[in-house]
Amino acid sequence: MVRVVRVLQGLVIGAAGTTALNAVTYADMAVRGRQASATPERTVVTAARALGFPLPGDAEQDPRVTGAAALLGLGAGTSAGVLLTVVRGDRRGLAADVGTAWALAMVVGNGPMTLLGVTDPRSWSSRDWIADVVPHLAYACAAGLTRRMLHR
C-alpha cells in the first residue's frame, strides 16, 4: 500500500511540475512570439518509424502525431515525478528535491530526443538552452515544493 501511495504522490508531483513547465513555455511563446517547437512531433515520428509503426504521409502535421507528442510530454513529466519519489525516498530538503527534479526533468525530457538523433544539445545556442532550461527549472521548483507539501 505504501508503494501505491508513493506512486500516486509521484504522479501528483509530476503533474504539478508539468503544469508549471507548460505555463512557462506558453508564456515564453506568447511574450516572444516564438513558434512551438516541432521537436516533440519529430520525436514521435522518428520513434514510430524505428518501431515499425505506419504513419501518414506528412506525419509531423498530422493531429494524431501532435496529440501523441503532447501525451508523451505529459507522460515524461509525470514519470519524472514518480522517479523523484523513488530517488529521494523519505529524505528531506527542498534544494535537493529541486535539484534532483531538475536533473530528472532534463534527462526524461531531452534524453529520448537526443538518443533518437532528433536534436543535439551540443549544437544549441545560448537562447535555445535558456528556452529549455527555464521551463525545466519551473518544473523542478513546482515538483520540489509539491513533494515537500505531500511529505510533511
Contact 87, 6 (CB under 8 A): no
Res. 106: pLDDT tops 80: yes
Per-residue pLDDT band for 82 (boundaries 50, 70, 90) equals very high
pTM of the model as a whole: 0.90
Mean pLDDT computed over 7-34: 95
**pLDDT tens digits, one per residue of 107-147:** 999 999 999 999 999 999 999 999 999 999 999 999 999 99
Mean pLDDT computed over 45-53: 90
Distances (CA, A) of 69 to 6, 49, 74, 135, 146: 26, 14, 9, 17, 25
Percent of the chain with pLDDT over 90: 72
Per-residue pLDDT band for 60 (boundaries 50, 70, 90) equals low
> How far is CA 33 from its chain centroid?
22
- Can you give the pLDDT at residue 24? 97
Res. 59: pLDDT tops 70: no
- Mean pLDDT for the chain? 91
Coil, strand or helix at 58: coil
Mean pLDDT computed over 72-83: 95
Mean pLDDT computed over 4-22: 95
Contacts of 15 (CB under 8 A, 6+ apart): 77, 78, 81
CA distance 39 to 43: 6
